[in-house]
Structures are given as structure tokens and as C-alpha cells.
Amino acid sequence: MNVDSNVNYDDVIPNNVNLSDNRKLQRAIREWHPKFMKWWWDRGPEGFQNSDVFLRTAISVDSSGWATYAYVRMPEYKWGIFLAPQRREPTIHFGDKLGEDTWESVPGEHRNDLRRLIVTQADTEPGSVEQQQKLGYSSPSLYDMRNLFQVNVEEARHLWAMVYLLQQFFGRDGREEAEELLVRHSGSADAPRILTTFNEPILDWLDFFCFAMFTDRDGKYQLGALAESAFNPLSRTTQFMLTEEAFHLFVGETGVGRTIRRTAQLMKEVPSEDVTTVEGIPLNLIQKYVNYWYSVSLDLFGSEDSSNAASFFASSLKGRFGEGNRKKYPDASCKEAWYMIKALDENGNDCNIEVPMRRAMNAVLRDSYIDDCNRAVRRWNKVLEDEDISFRMQLPSDRFNRKIGIHATHHADPDGSYLTKEEWERRKYEWVPSEKEKAYVRSVMVPVKEAGRFANWITPPNRGISGKPIDFEYVRL
């Protein structure tokens, strides 16, 4: 894609923000675009930039036909800018400004907070693409390879969605932030991504599936919270991002589910049930990956007791998930309420911490997320039940392996029982994958590049993409 002053902007950047009439925004995009493309080539999916990939591209916000499917080379993907249709009355529906008009531009007093929220959200999107940069080389099928690239181009579009807000509403500061987003990078020593989890390596496909299951799901909940915002362009941008997000979660949940099913099948084929003799991934090792990615994803909610969260809620910048549902959340102000958090005291005993509701908004959002994760885990366990295997997957306690928040000060096992530092160091590989186990997982991840064939450690999906058969050539190598 080429963006210069002669192009018809609406042709190269699908949008519903009147880009072709907005000279100022065109200028900002023209500046930023070559840097974005350089970033995409340097840090985007490696090894397959010249392949034709059967990709979905967002072209409108019409719910009956918002995307098209076609073979596209990734660098030619049309990254667009979309605001979802106005969903509710343009009045603020929670916090201290209840009933006032929502904002079409950024109020001065909230400029810093909004900028920080948008930059933090934006930073995760390219971060995830960088983390997944080399996975194409070991993909278990063309179907999975295509899904990886689909997620990657859409995360890059989410970056565009946030950069649009920065460039359109935050003037020069916003344009500078947009550039910084392409300078920081995942795992960098001097300019890392802002949030912890986006600096963790994703080295194999089980990492990727767990990340899409648990970390993209944090995305779903954070975007849902921002979709409640009084800053209307942020609300409508994040609402549209959620339509794409559903597929990312599908990739994660079904990816882990297909791995679990394959292991269950292999367990019945090998007399010892030791699937490592046939290059499968043992269920208890899958559980360790789940423990790891779930716990690092919980860290993305910030502290359970947070003055930032209280002020984001009070100022109506960020709501709860489904804030507009007053059956679920009858109290739109949350000034008087309290939230109880089960924690450990300094002696390692269970205790309850009561936090003023507004300060507990990160925990409230996180608890909605945990319920959602549990629903998905129940679907995995249905797979095990179907296959007649007695093992059951489960989520560890929210105290397990935490680096952020009230549980970060001590160690706990997956049941939430207190451990001394020494006990944790001695026993942690009972619960999270060791280097040796990770090396084993990488060793079974041999690339499969023949349409319709799948690596031995995973089952084929139930169906293909967009009505195509499973043996469709999803990527033309």
C-alpha cells in the first residue's frame, strides 16, 4: 500500500471517518505511514510477507457484511479506520458526570488520563505482533498459519484505530505518541512495551494459543470497559475492535482445545499413556502453559486497589464490562459501595480486604474476565469428557504467580495456599513449564505446509474459514 498526496485516501484506507475530507489527518497519516510499514517489515510476521494469504479485511461497520475475504499479501493489507455506529443515547451513563452529554473532543481536564489510556491500549497491539513474529516457521498447518496472520494484521489495524484517536484528537502530543509506538518494542531492554505481559516471549504455538485465549481476552475486557467511555470516539472505536477480537479468542480457545483433544486421542493409542513417545503434549504440560499465561494475563488488570481506576470511573473514562446493563449493575455511581477481595495477610493466612468500589474497578473487571475464562475451560473439559479421559483442566488461584497488585508481595500455589520464597523457587516447575519442557514443545512443532494436513500434536478444526474446506490452500507459499 502506498499513501501519498495524490491517492484517493478512501481507496487505500477503508474508513468511515471522512478521511478524504480531512486534510489534517491525511497529513498526519502520510507522515506516520512509512514508519508503520518499516515497522511491519522489520517486526511483523517473518518469512511470509510475499505469500498470498486468505485474509479477512474490515471494509465497513455494517453488521451484515463488515468484512471481505480474499488472497492478500500482508504488506498490501488495507488497514482501515472505523467507528461503530452510535450505540446509545449520547449521555454519560456512569460516574460523577451521569446524565451530561458525552464528548466529541477531549476535555482539557481529562487529556492526560485519556492519552495514557489510549497509548497503553495502543502499545499492546504492535507488542503482540512482535511477540508472534517468528511463529509462521513452525505452524502446524496452513489453516493455523492463516489464522496467525489474520490475528497479526488485525492487531496492526487496532494500532491504526488508536493512532487515529491520537492524531485526530491530541494534536502534536498525539502525533509524537504515535511515533513512539513504533519505537518501543517487545522485550527491549531500553524501550520495552508498557505492560509486562507484552514483553514475554511467545516461542511456540501453545504459547500463542494460550496468549490468544487469555491475553487477547484481557483485550476483550479492557476494550469493553473503554467502549463505555464518555469520550465518544474512543467508545465507538473500541466497540468496532471488539468485532475482530472475537476471532482472536476463537483461535486461542479452539487452538488449546484441539491440542487437548489430540493429546487425549494419543493417550488412548499409547499403552503407557505417555504421549511424549509419539510427539504429543502431555495434559499436565498444557495445564502448566495455562497456569502461566492466565496468571500473567491477570497482571494486565493492574492493582485490585487502584486510585487510577477510581478516577477513571469517577470521570467516566472507563466503565465496567457491560456497564450499560443496569440489571447487572444497578448502581451507576458506586460512591458508597465496597468490594471484597480475598487475599493473604503477611503471615500467609486468608483474609478479606474491603476496598471502596471505585478503587476496586480493576478487580471488578478482572472478576468478569475470570468468569469468562472459566466458561471456556469448561468447554475444554467437555473435550476430555468426550474422549473419556479423567484429567480436568483448571484455572489457578488469582494469587498464583502474580507480579502486579495485592498478591504480588507473596507466593502461592495454584490452590492459593501461601508458599515461602524458598518453597516457590523449589517447586515452581511443578506448575509452570521449565526450559526443558518448553524445548520439548518446540521440538514437536514441526511445520506442516501441505493443505489439509496437520502436525501430530493437534487435531484439525471442525470447519474451515468463511465456508472454505479444511484442506483449502489458506496460504500460498
| 316 near ligand BYC, judged by CB under 6 A | no
The residue written with cell numbers 509486562 in the block is: 196
Contact 399, 412 (CB under 8 A): yes
| 218 near ligand BYC, judged by CB under 6 A | yes
Of 390, 323, 398, the C-alpha closest to 358 is 323
If DSSP codes are grouped into helix, strand and coil, which group holds residue 85?
Answer: coil
| 323 near ligand BYC, judged by CB under 6 A | no
The residue written with cell numbers 449493575 in the block is: 329
Say which residues have a Cβ less than 8 Å from residue 347's Cβ, sequence separation at least 6.
none
| 301 near ligand BYC, judged by CB under 6 A | yes
Quote the least distance from Cβ 77 to Fe ion, whole Å: 15
Cell of residue 409, nine digits: 508481595
By a kind-dependent CB cut-off of 5 to 8 A, residue 237 interacts, out of Fe ion, ligand BYC, none, with none
Give the C-alpha separation, 205 to 200, whole Å.
14
Sites for ligand BYC among residues 268-297 (CB under 6 A): none
Interface with Fe ion: number of residues (CB under 5 A):
6
By a kind-dependent CB cut-off of 5 to 8 A, residue 79 interacts, out of Fe ion, ligand BYC, none, with none
Binding mask 192-231 for Fe ion (x = CB under 5 A): ------------------------x--x------------
Quote the least distance from Cβ 169 to ligand BYC, whole Å: 16
Of 151, 182, 178, the C-alpha closest to 165 is 178
Sites for ligand BYC among residues 137-156 (CB under 6 A): 155
Give the residue closest to ligand BYC by C-beta.
302
Give the residues across from 67 on adjacent strands: 58
Sites for ligand BYC among residues 154-183 (CB under 6 A): 155
| 115 near Fe ion, judged by CB under 5 A | no
| 207 near ligand BYC, judged by CB under 6 A | no
For 78-105, give one letter per residue: b (16+ CB within 10 A) or e.
bbbbbbbeeeeeeebbbbebeeeebbee
DSSP string, 232-285: HHHHHHHHHHHHHHHHHHHHHHHHHHHHHHHHHHHHHHSTT--GGGGT---HHH
Binding mask 358-377 for ligand BYC (x = CB under 6 A): ----x---------------
Q: Which is nearer to ligand BYC, 74 or 195 (CB)?
A: 195
Sites for ligand BYC among residues 220-259 (CB under 6 A): 222
> Containing H/E element for 53?
strand 52-58
Rule CB under 6 A: which residues touch ligand BYC?
117, 120-121, 124-125, 128, 155, 195-196, 215-216, 218-219, 222, 299-303, 306, 308-309, 318, 362, 404
Rule CB under 5 A: which residues touch Fe ion?
125, 155, 158, 216, 219, 248
